[in-house]
Amino acid sequence: MRKDQNLGEYLRAQGVSRRGFLKFCSATASLMALPPSAIAQVADALAKARRPSVIWLSFQECTGCTESLTRSHAPTVESLIFDAISLDYHHTLQAAAGHGAEAARMAAMEENSGEYILVVDGSIPVGNPAYSTIAGISNLDMLKETAANAFALVAVGTCAAFGGIPHANPNPTGAVSVSDIVTDKPIINVSGCPPIPVVITGVLAHFLTFGTIPELDALGRPAAFFGQNIHDRCYRRPFYERGQFAETFDDEGARKGWCLYKLGCKGPTTYNTCATLKWNEGTSFPIQSGHGCIGCSEPDFWDKGGFYNPISAGMWGSRDALLGAAAAGAALGVGSALAARARKKKAQAAEEA
Amino acid sequence: MSSLDAIAVNTEVVTGNVEPLLHEVRHALKRLANGEDGTVIDLRSLPLAPGEEEQIEAALGQGEVRAELNALGPSLVQETSYPGVWLVTHRNAEQAVVGRFIEVTDMPELLKSQQADIEYGINRLENELKN
ipTM: 0.77
With residue B116 as reference, give the H or E element that holds it. Answer: helix B115-130
For A32-68, write each residue's pLDDT tens digit: 777 777 787 888 887 777 778 889 999 999 999 888 8
* B18-130: in CATH 3.30.1370.140: yes
Q: Which residue has the higher pLDDT, B39 or A177?
A: A177
Q: Residue B11 pLDDT more than 70?
A: no
CA distances from A205 to A71, A81, A208 (A): 17, 7, 5
Shortest CA gap A281–chain B (Å): 7
Q: Output the CA torsion sign for A343, A345, A351, B4.
A: positive
Record: contact B72-A20, CB cut-off 8 A: yes
Backbone dihedral region of B66: left (phi > 0), alpha (psi from -120 to 50 degrees) or beta? beta
Q: How many CB atoms lie within 10 A of CB B51?
A: 11
Annotated domain spans of chain B: 18-130
Q: In the prediction, which pLDDT does B8 show? A: 60
As annotated, the residues of chain A forming the CATH 3.40.50.700 domain(s) are 7-226
As annotated, the residues of chain A forming the CATH 4.10.480.10 domain(s) are 230-352
Q: In the prediction, which pLDDT does A17 show? A: 83
Which of B14, B46, B117 is opposite residue A17, by nearest beta carbon? B117
Record: contact B90-A76, CB cut-off 8 A: no
Average pLDDT, integer, range A172-185: 97
Contacts of A80 in chain B (CB under 8 A): 72
Distance CA A260, CA A267 (A): 9
CA proximity to A193, closest of A228, A167, A223, A231: A167
Can you give the C-alpha Rg of chain A in angstroms? 23
Q: In the prediction, which pLDDT does A4 show? A: 67
Q: Residue A168 pLDDT more than 70?
A: yes
* Residue A299 neighbours by CB under 8 Å, 6+ apart: A158, A161, A162, A163, A219
Record: contact A27-B45, CB cut-off 8 A: no
Task: Assign A4 to helix, strand or coil.
Answer: coil
Distance CA A131, CA A128 (A): 6
CATH topology of domain A230-352: Cytochrome-c3 Hydrogenase; Chain A, domain 2 (4.10.480)
The half-sphere exposure of A138 on its side-chain side, counting CA atoms within 13 A, is 13
The answer, for A288 touching chain B at a CB cutoff of 8 Å, is: yes
* A7-226: in CATH 1.10.3720.10: no
Q: In the prediction, which pLDDT does A338 show? A: 39
Q: Residue A5 pLDDT more than 80?
A: no
Q: Residue A9 pLDDT more than 90?
A: no
CA proximity to B46, closest of A201, A190, A245, A228: A228
